Homo-oligomer: A and B are copies of this chain.
Amino acid sequence: MKRADGIETDRKIVLAALELFVRKGYHGTSITDIVNKVGLTKGSLYAHFKSKGELLLRILERYKVRYIDEMIRFANDGEGDALDKLHRCITFSAQFASEHQNLCVFLTFLTTELKADIDFEPMLKAVYNDYQRFIGGIVRQGISQGLVDKKTDPDLAALTFMALHDGLLHQWVLNRNLIDAEEYVRTFRKTFIYGLASDKGRTKPQ
């Protein structure tokens, strides 16, 4: 009988679970679904992970470390003002989404389903808070640099950024094949920072 490396199997399980959780939801994915995808049996999975919930938390940790933390590093790395940082966040996100199609929507999708779940809600919210705090800080910086309208509430603007970000990823996943990713990112960038209106639209009397 062939033998695989244990750590490698760990990884395979996590990736299979990630894909299924994102596609069918947490409660919509059974342990049997996961082991079928990996090519294992249930008993074996439970030698690697002690529960379905632990599997989810492992993925959440992966998300936090590989996405949020990395985005923060990437945005802070190098020079430039607050708007440059925001641009870099978008750039990083777009790049990440193209390379890790499942992971990039993990937080949004799973939070939708599990926001009221006592076992997961604290961890999910904690990651969201990290994210919001970081974007909020950039907006604050942008205001003090005069690049962002000073009437803007930084925390609400951060929420708006995350909202647009989440929403775009959501739409992208729903229409992967129909959307030109690069064009889509340009639309995000332009809309969030400069708005939809042309000069004429912008200056028309309210």
Cβ contact within 8 Å between B167 and A25: no
A57 CB-CB contact with B under 8 Å: no
Residues on B with C-beta less than 8 A from A27 are: 25, 27-28
What's the least CB distance linking A160 to chain B, in Å? Answer: 5
User: What is the number of residues of chain A that contact chain B, defined by CB distance less than 8 Å?
Assistant: 63
DSSP class of A's interface residues: helix, strand, loop or mixed? Answer: helix
A168 CB-CB contact with B under 8 Å: yes
Cβ contact within 8 Å between A156 and B198: no
When the two chains form the complex, which single residue of B153, B170, B179, B194 contacts A195, counting CB atoms closer than 8 Å? Answer: B194
Query: Digit string of A122-140 for contact with B (CB within 8 Å is 1, else 0)?
Result: 0001001000000000010
A35 CB-CB contact with B under 8 Å: no
When the two chains form the complex, which single residue of B112, B149, B150 contacts A25, counting CB atoms closer than 8 Å? Answer: B112
What's the least CB distance linking A190 to chain B, in Å? Answer: 8
A67 CB-CB contact with B under 8 Å: no
A56 CB-CB contact with B under 8 Å: no
Residues on B with C-beta less than 8 A from A196 are: 86, 139, 142, 148-149, 152, 157, 192-195
Residues on B with C-beta less than 8 A from A200 are: 146-147
Q: Which residue of B lies closest to A29 (CB)?
A: B27
Could you give 23 example pairs across A and B, Cβ below 8 Å?
A25-B28, A25-B113, A83-B197, A108-B112, A113-B113, A115-B173, A146-B201, A147-B197, A148-B196, A148-B197, A148-B201, A149-B196, A149-B197, A149-B198, A153-B187, A159-B187, A163-B167, A164-B191, A165-B167, A166-B171, A190-B195, A193-B197, A194-B202
